[in-house]
Structure 1
Amino acid sequence: MPIHLSPTLRERLTDSDRPLVGGWVCSGSPVMAEVMAGGGLDVLLLDMEHAPNGLESILAQLHAVSGYPVTPIVRVPSADAVTIKQVLDLGAQNILVPMVSTAEEAREVAAAAQYPPAGRRGIGSALARSGRWSRVPDYLARGAEHVSVFVQIETVEGVENAEDIAAVDGIDGIFLGPSDLSASMGLLGQQTHPDVVAAVERSFAAGRAAGVPVGVNAFDPDVARGYVAAGADWILVGADVSLAARGAERLAAEFIPQPPAGA
């Protein structure tokens, strides 16, 4: 039976009349991925860079969210071509590649995600979930239609090269990472510093000039709203682990007596 894949993040961004809102899944848990998927968000980022995830756990999370109207994107741990190939073969239709600072690095990412002659992605869809074991019609010929590729700008060099990065053929958009960007700017831990925010917004302008959507991570609600006002096409506003941590702390504060001040 022919199978038709879900729209990519590229397609969802093109078709949306508002910024898409998403969250991170950093626990490595398919249960938490499904809990987040049912919450009404547009996008879920499954993280392999800073979370305890391998191929098997990412596959389990892709399965867990597949029954919900949410678009998953997998952040691979690096621009390694083998990892990109394996994650795409798992059936991930959307990937985010961290720490891309030059157009040449972006071209390498694009090549790793596309079949020849446009790129150098290995041919294995008949054996993999990506083409649903040859049940997706013309998967090889239409592979680029079924995959969207985003790169993460997280350094001063990346901000300077943002327009060139965004203009690379095969790159569907850029995503700003204020945490590492703040460190690159000598402002470690100050993701909401005005200079960091300004650098993010300059990158937005560069992405728009290149004609691609721009996104950003922003857990501070006021900063997030500011980025939306500045033109973010998609934004990640929270993470499963942070939501659980803050929720547990609120329960403890509410129900466990606190010692008197100065005791």
Structure 2
Amino acid sequence: MAEPAPKIRTSFICTIPSAVVTQALAQAGADAVVIDQEHGAIGPEHLHAMIAATAGTKCRPLVRVGKRDEAMVKLALDMGAAGIVFPLVNTAQEAADCVAMTCYPPRGRRGFGPFIGHSRWGVSFEDYLSKVGGTVVCNILIETRSAIDNIEKIFAVEGISALILAPFDLAVELGCPGRFDSPDFLAAVEQFERATDAAKVAKVAKVAKSRVAMTEQQVQAAAARGYAAMMLGFDVMMLKNSAATAIGWIK
């Protein structure tokens, strides 16, 4: 008897500095929200409220930091984030550095200070390390030519939870912005997927393969190609597109 297909994890990217928006997406049933401090309008003054707004749901609050910056990572995790999404990772060494920033010693070098974040998880300050500290995820965005060229070595880095194919930046760098049917873009995607499949066959990777998929057709195509997690959209674009559709009803 064939095993049932694994559940595909879903997430949305929050660029609007609003706990209300984050809470609505969490309550809708998303497995995760990515609070975006790289391209979103979200500063530290909104970070805690948006993370806290996911409490009481199954939704895990992740934070995309603006860069591989230890201070940004520490703040996000100490506010209660379930993990970090790192942009512009090009090499295995950079990926390993990302893992180190999300882990406590001796595995990594995260400083201990979840004075605020422990409450998000319903544990005491004293119990945070044992009950939450080891569950923090480290997700890596694959969005450059260098990352594609080094993808096999990046896959082999211990401690990465997911590698996320980021089509917008990758297409721009490859010289085909917005043209996701470009031969160069498709070749890069194929290289990414081939490395994933090879790591799975060799049983050396526990890394989830993820990508942005913002239409039903894209979701179905990605599922057929073995993607385990999908980012389904950006809050501000979903709002704008829904508003434009509604306005169109009366034109």
Check whether TM > 0.5.
Answer: yes
How many Å apart are 1:206 and its aligned residue?
A: 1.9
Q: 1:144 to 1:40 in 2, by over 3 A?
A: closer
Cα RMSD (Å): 2.2
The answer as to 2:221 corresponding to 1:242 is no
Query: Equivalences for 1:90-105 in 2 at 5 Å?
Result: 90-105=79-94
Return the TM-score normalized by structure 1. Answer: 0.83
How many Å apart are 1:61 and its aligned residue?
A: 0.9
Query: Equivalences for 1:65-104 in 2 at 5 Å?
Result: 65-104=54-93
Q: Secondary structure at the match of 1:106?
A: helix
Structure 1 or 2, whichever has the larger Rg, is 1
How many Å apart are 1:193 and its aligned residue?
A: 3.6
Aligned length: 240
Q: 1:107 to 1:186 in 2, by over 3 A?
A: same
The answer as to 2:150 corresponding to 1:155 is no
How many Å apart are 1:81 and its aligned residue?
A: 1.1
More off after superposition, 88-97 vs 20-29: 20-29
Distance in 2 between the 1:195 and 1:49 partners?
26
Distance in 1 between the 2:167 and 2:35 partners?
18
The answer as to 2:7 corresponding to 1:18 is yes
Distance in 1 between the 2:123 and 2:238 partners?
39
Q: Secondary structure at the match of 1:51?
A: coil
Distance in 2 between the 1:38 and 1:139 partners?
25
Q: 1:107 to 1:138 in 2, by over 3 A?
A: same
How many Å apart are 1:56 and its aligned residue?
A: 2.5
Q: 1:254 to 1:142 in 2, by over 3 A?
A: closer
Contact 2:103 2:134 in 1 (8 A): no
The answer as to 2:32 corresponding to 1:43 is yes
Q: 1:116 matched to which residue of 2? A: 105
Q: Secondary structure at the match of 1:223?
A: helix
Contact 1:41 1:70 in 2 (8 A): yes
Q: 1:130 to 1:193 in 2, by over 3 A?
A: farther
Once the two structures are superposed, what CA deviation does each residue of 1:143-188 show, in whole Å capped at 9, x if it has no partner?
A: 6522111111101110111121121122222111110000111112
Contact 1:204 1:232 in 2 (8 A): no
Distance in 1 between the 2:119 and 2:53 partners?
18
Distance in 1 between the 2:221 and 2:187 partners?
11
Distance in 2 between the 1:148 and 1:164 partners?
19
The answer as to 2:117 corresponding to 1:129 is yes
How many Å apart are 1:69 and its aligned residue?
A: 2.1
Which segments of 5 or more consecutive residues in structure 2 lack a partner in the other structure? none
Q: Percent identity?
A: 32
Matched residue type, 1:254:
W
Distance in 2 between the 1:191 and 1:84 partners?
31
Distance in 1 between the 2:47 and 2:189 partners?
29
Once the two structures are superposed, what CA deviation does each residue of 1:82-115 show, in whole Å capped at 9, x if it has no partner?
A: 1111111111012110110100111111111111
Q: 1:216 matched to which residue of 2? A: 211
The answer as to 2:220 corresponding to 1:229 is no
Return structure 1 stretches of 4+ with deviation > 3 angstroms. 130-134, 136-144, 191-195
Once the two structures are superposed, what CA deviation does each residue of 1:19-51 show, in whole Å capped at 9, x if it has no partner?
A: 112222211211111121222222222111110
Matched residue type, 2:117:
R
The answer as to 2:236 corresponding to 1:252 is no
